[in-house]
Amino acid sequence: TAKFIHTVVIRNNKFNQSFPILNFIKKKTTMVVLTKPAIDHFPIVKNSFKSPSFFNDIPVIDLSKPDSKNLIVNACEEFGFFKVINHDVPMEFISKLESEAIKFFSSPLSEKLKAGPADPFGYGNKKIGQNGDIGWVEYILLSTNSEFNYHKFASISGVNPENIRAAVNDYVSAVKKMSCKILEMLAEGLKIHPTNVFSKLLKDEKSDSVFRLNHYPPCPEIQEFNAKNLIGFGEHTDPQIISVLRSNNTSGLQILLKNGHWISVPSDQNSFFINVGDSLQVMTNGRFKSVKHRVLTNSVKSRLSMIYFGGPPLSEKIAPLPSLIEGKDSLYKEFTWFEYKRSAYKTRLADDRLVLFEKKI
């Protein structure tokens, strides 16, 4: 049996060691013993040397500049993805929430499980969705509009539920405001009136928006497996209108270009990254593309990301805007957000969710 066992020494760092490998790991002080079949439970990808490891031309939008609206439109057409700077989200909100997240994810698994299961809201570990997708990730999923029971965190040592609530509320409020500004600039760039055609859906008191904290622990043992990368979160598109991502200073995010190459996004803990979602693709009649993206693990450092998913009310009808299909055919059937969300949650991560809602022309 010895040939199937790899021993990996990891640093004595509470945050880095907090992630469990369920029944596959046995801990002895600072030594982790991992059987090779254990790693095979997780998706892996081969290193690609044909694509650039970093792509320096990802659009960077300065929200304080007068030409930002046109640059945003171009970025949504070409990439479905861009970075924003001068965003006016207070750094204290970002650092406060990151600090609270680290406290939580550094806790023992037995403590974190008290904040779960994710049904869909709460703490989740490895399992992504209900259809068999797994990743090297643990997370907290929260609704931004319905009351989440933060007292689930009360019994976790060193974690104050009121501090988490306050940190999430401050952060989400600021990021939502920025998201609405971006969507209004986008509408202006598309010459759509009124310019709140997208942002009003996020501002609606019944908006079905969610917030997610993802923790990707380091996985030093992946270097033992033919230089393959472990998937932290598998390739997918986001079903909502817009996604706003911020992560710590650890890389791992990749997006898929039109030419079929995956490119790595350089980390930037002071900026935000914006994703076009499926719903925005439909509302622009395919002019904007919902970007496919994934996260790879880092073998040395933990990655912590915060994602705001701006969604419409459940009863909202999603269809191409009339002003964007003048003289053209509508590519999509009309559907409610509830219908699409229900359909999307029945699929696997990498599935093309929109294909069921395309018109047959």
Instruction: Provide the H-helix boundaries in 24-156.
Output: 36-39, 68-78, 91-105, 109-112
**CB-side exposure of 330: number of CA atoms within 13 Å?**
14
Q: How far is CA 122 from CA 52, 229, 241, in A?
A: 37, 28, 22
Residue 247, beta-bridge partner list: 305
Residue pointed to by tokens 């393959």: 228
Q: How far is CA 219 from CA 102, 125, 300, 344, in A?
A: 17, 15, 7, 30
Whether 353 is a known active-site residue: answer: no
Instruction: Provide the H-helix boundaries in the chain.
Output: 14-17, 36-39, 68-78, 91-105, 109-112, 161-189, 199-203, 278-283, 337-344
Shortest CA distance to 20 belongs to which of 107, 115, 101, 121?
A: 107
Question: Of 246, 287, 303, 353, which residue is the catalytic one?
Answer: 303
Shortest CA distance to 349 belongs to which of 76, 125, 132, 199?
A: 132
Q: How far is CA 174 from CA 25, 87, 177, 267, 335, in A?
A: 40, 10, 5, 21, 30
Contact 172, 211 (CB under 8 A): yes
Residue pointed to by tokens 């994810």: 105
Q: Which residues are catalytic?
A: 303
